[in-house]
Amino acid sequence: MGIDDPSCVLCGGEIESSCHLFFKCPVARAIWYSSCWGLRADKLHISSSSDIIKLVLNPPQALCLQEDQWHISLNMAHIIDEIWHLRNRTTYQEAQIDIFDSIKQIQLKFQEFSTLITLETLPTAQAKHLFWEPPPIGWIKLNVDAAITESFSTLAVVARDHKGTVIKVWSKLHQPCSPIVAEAYAILWAMQLANHEQWSHVQIEGDAKQCFDPLSVEDVPPDWSISNIISSILSLKICFVSVCFRWVNRVCNAATHATAKHSVASKMSLCCNKDNLPCAVYSACMDDCLHVPLF
């Protein structure tokens, strides 16, 4: 394809336009689906450059809690930027199209920028704790997360020991529900899994503050939509010698977030150990281990 050819350099199927390049092109659609919680870019009503700006600034129904809306906008901006750079690399450098590499670059940029933004908005004392921390010796920490699409949700659990070693990673498809309900079900599932594994001392950790406050802070009532789930979680405490619940910032929950996204993209459940982790999950776990003290 010549440099003056008006066809899309990524697919060659249509005349290149902003709408086609960023949303209708099969390559762009694959990147959106894998990098933005299973978003079907071809279903969006985009007909002009102003529509693209509006989409980024005011994304559709959030796939996370309202206070985390900025994550969606930040991720969308990185996706559009990567598609543009991929187009230019293909046009001017004759680079090969590598969708998986583009997805990896988006994930790395998103993680870097979101961490910087969070660090800038928190006091220094809090910023020091923006890394995953291992549990005490003899304890197992289970991080939990959930992801939402229009047709289903996914629950994810990552279990690690005091050295940061991954013991098991689980994810499963779940019925469509609100973010807070999905997060609560993820905590309940983590308790059930820990009981099945016969772990006696467990920490349950996640970034859904509305779910963890009723479990860890006295006199904080749960939202009505998760009250029954919270009751079920608390009833399982008798199965353990010790169990504690802890809310953490999203950047401390990256491995489980990557696991939930993997299940959204693949539409499959997952059960694996440290030797067969999906690439994105392995990368997130390795990043966490950079901050684990040597014993």
The per-residue pLDDT for 106 is: 86
The pTM (predicted TM-score) of the whole model is 0.60
How many other C-beta atoms lie within 10 A of the C-beta of residue 119?
A: 15
Q: Is-contact 117 73, C-beta < 8 A?
A: no
DSSP states along 185-197: HHHHHHHHHHHHH
Per-residue pLDDT of the chain (295 residues; tens, 9 = 90+): 545 678 999 998 899 999 999 999 999 999 998 887 678 888 888 888 899 998 888 887 654 555 557 778 888 999 999 999 999 999 888 889 999 889 888 887 877 776 656 555 555 444 445 789 999 889 999 999 999 988 999 999 999 999 999 999 999 999 999 899 999 999 999 999 999 999 999 999 999 999 999 998 888 899 999 999 999 999 999 999 999 999 998 888 999 999 999 999 889 999 999 888 888 888 888 888 776 655 4
How many other C-beta atoms lie within 10 A of the C-beta of residue 37?
A: 21
The tens digit of pLDDT for each residue in 260-290 reads 999 998 899 999 998 888 888 888 888 887 7
Q: How far apart are CA 141 and CA 228, in angstroms?
A: 24
**What 3-state DSSP class applies to 243?**
strand
For residue 291, what are the contacts with CB-CB under 8 A and spacing of at least 6? 131, 132, 133
Q: Which domains does the chain have, with CATH numbers?
A: 18-121 (no CATH), 127-289 (3.30.420.10)
The per-residue pLDDT for 290 is: 75
How many other C-beta atoms lie within 10 A of the C-beta of residue 69?
A: 14
Tokens 């991954």, located at residue: 166
Identity at 33, one-letter amino acid code: Y
Q: How far apart are CA 55 and CA 51, in angstroms?
A: 6
- How many residues does the structure list for the chain? 295
